[in-house]
Structure 1
Amino acid sequence: MSEIIVQQNIGDISGLSLVETKQFLDNRGFFTETYNEKGFLENGLTHHFIQDNEVHNRMGVLRGFHFNQIRPQAKLVRVLSGKIFDVVIDMRKNSATFKKKFWIELSGDNRLQLYIPEGFAHAYLALTDAVVLFKVTTHYIPGDEIGFAWNSKEFGIPWPKLAMGYVLNEKDRLNPDYSKIIC
């Protein structure tokens, strides 16, 4: 058995899980096993990850909301350094929790990982400079990703206020309100 603890169906959303790992400390620093396929399978986390993505964010960077419609993508998100406000929304139309949202603070200090099943929209705000690592189950497919505005009225996400405001790329800044997308 690996050294992970999995809280399943967090936020009462089927499949959404929080992963905690054990930290082994000694005079050199620490060791943490962040992913162990056998341990994940034993805890019902069955997606096969094929790629890791590392993202460096300045404080105030807001990314998302994005999700893949044709080839949904599961993710395992963790923060290597810094702190983010991470948000997911269940976009699975046949789910009892369709459009239900969940948010959590992930940081290099708390070492929590968010296991996001296929079919969820994902966004996050860098509360400090932050390095985010996420494992994914599919490669990027041009034209498959759908985006909608981070502040879509339907969801009322309580984004933390930052004195400096938010930094968005042009694509995210131009994403329409959720009410205007067709999926």
Structure 2
Amino acid sequence: MQVIQTVMPDVFIFEPKVFGDDRGFFFESFNHKFFEEVIGKNVNFVQDNHSKSSKGVLRGLHYQLEPYAQGKLVRCIAGEVFDVAVDIRASSPSYGQWVGVNLSADNKRQLWIPEGFAHGFIVLSEVAEFVYKTTNYYHPESECGIIWDDKTININWPEVDKIVLSDKDRNQPAFSCIKKYL
């Protein structure tokens, strides 16, 4: 497995070594010991989530406040998405900055997004299935978000014919108004 450090501290891309032949392919998608060595801390994943979305669906930018903050190990198992992590740690030198990565069934990449980051993605293929592990359970009372097209963060989302948002995501607050993660 190859690990790529992104421009954002603590956010890593995990790119597996794929063994393929005329029968198909095999790869190790997760190794707990290796994962913890790379990120430098103990992690206990407690929940797996799976979504299916059509082209142009944008989900995010979501996060949960402490003590229910979630780290996420995300990947796309069908189709392709552009995945984004935004640093919302008020004490971080990269506060308010973002990193974006294309994740797809073809490249089999995974992105580690630690606690203290907002997360979102947009579907680039006709359909995409997106799965991720979380380090904490979903806690509705701690759920927060940022509007996807916030001018302060200025995410360079890939162009699609039409962006499709939930009512919740359409009405998220601006970055300047969010509840900060310390």
Match of 1:20 in 2: 15
TM-score normalized with structure 1 length = 0.91
Equivalent position of 1:41 in the other structure: 36
Report whether the alignment pairs 1:106 with 2:103. yes
Counterpart-to-counterpart distance in 2, 1:182 and 1:138: 19
Identify the residue that residue 152 of structure 2 maps to in structure 1: 154
**1:57-136 correspondence runs (5 A):** 57-70=53-66, 71-128=68-125, 129-136=127-134
Following the alignment from structure 1 to structure 2, what is the Cα–Cα distance between the partners of residues 45 and 79?
24
Superposed displacement of residue 132, structure 1: 0.5
Identify which of 2, 6, 19 aligns with 1:5: 2
The whole-number CA distance in structure 2 between the counterparts of 1:146 and 1:101 is 17
TM-fit CA distance, 1:45: 5.1
Determine if contact 2:80/2:123 at 8 Å carries over to the other structure: yes
Q: Distance in 1 between matches of 2:178 and 2:39?
A: 33
Any idea what SS the aligned residue of 1:60 has? coil
Question: Is contact 2:10–2:39 with CA below 8 Å preserved after alignment?
Answer: no
1:54 alignment counterpart? 50
RMSD of equivalent CA atoms: 1.3
CA drift at 1:64: 0.5
Amino acid corresponding to residue 52 of structure 1 in structure 2: D
Q: Distance in 1 between matches of 2:84 and 2:38?
A: 23
Number of aligned positions between the proteins = 177
- Please give the alpha-carbon distance, in whole angstroms, between the structure 1 residues aligned to 2:131 and 2:122: 14
Q: Secondary structure at the match of 1:43?
A: helix
Deviation at 1:41, TM superposition (A): 2.4
Letter in 1 for 2:30: Y
**Is the partner of 1:162 in helix, strand or coil?**
coil
Q: Which amino acid in 2 is paired with 1:26?
A: D
The percent of aligned pairs where both chains have the same amino acid is: 40
Once residues 71 and 29 of structure 2 are traced to their aligned partners in structure 1, the CA distance between those partners, rounded to angstroms, is 17
What secondary structure is seen at the aligned counterpart in 2 of 1:48?
A: coil
Secondary structure of the structure 2 residue equivalent to 1:143: helix
TM-score, normalising length from structure 2?
0.92
